[in-house]
Amino acid sequence: QDVKIFRALILGELERGQNQYQALCFVSRLNRNEIIPSESMARLRQKNPQAIRLAEERKGLEQLTMSVAVNLSRAWQLSSHIHNMCSEAREAIYTREADVKHWLDKG
C-alpha cells in the first residue's frame, strides 16, 4: 500500500510530572503524484550539484481530520514501516475515514 506516515513528538513538562515526550502517528493515503521519483532527483543533482532548488508550485494548507484509531498490531497490512516508525505511539496512531474506506475497497 502507498501510505504517508507522520510521527509527531510532543515534549512533556518534567517538572509537572509528565513524560519526557508523547509520540503520535498519523497515517494517510499517498497519491502517486505527491512524490518525485528518486531517479529524477538524481538526474537533477548531476546536472548542477551546486544549485539550490525551490518548489515550482505553492501548495496551500492541507487540513486533515484523522478520527480513526489504527491498531498497531494490524498496521503491517498497510505498511511494514508503520511498526518501525510508530511503535512508541501504540495507542495514538490515527488515520482518516476516507483512507480506511479506500484501503478496505482496494483489499
Cβ(98)–Cβ(68) under 8 Å?
A: no
83 within a domain of the structure (yes/no):
yes
pLDDT of residue 68: 95
- Look at residue 1 and tell me whether its pLDDT is greater than 80: no
38 within a domain of the structure (yes/no):
no
pLDDT of residue 82: 92
Average of per-residue pLDDT across 61-70:
92
Give the global pTM: 0.74
- Look at residue 6 and tell me whether its pLDDT is greater than 90: yes
DSSP 33-82: GGS--HHHHHHHHHH-TTPPP--SS----------EE--GGGGGGT-THH
Structurally, how many domains does the chain consist of?
Answer: 1
Domain containing 73 equals 3-32+62-106
- Look at residue 5 and tell me whether its pLDDT is greater than 90: yes
- Look at residue 53 and tell me whether its pLDDT is greater than 80: no
Alpha-carbon gap, residue 96 to 103, rounded angstroms: 11
Alpha-carbon gap, residue 14 to 91, rounded angstroms: 21
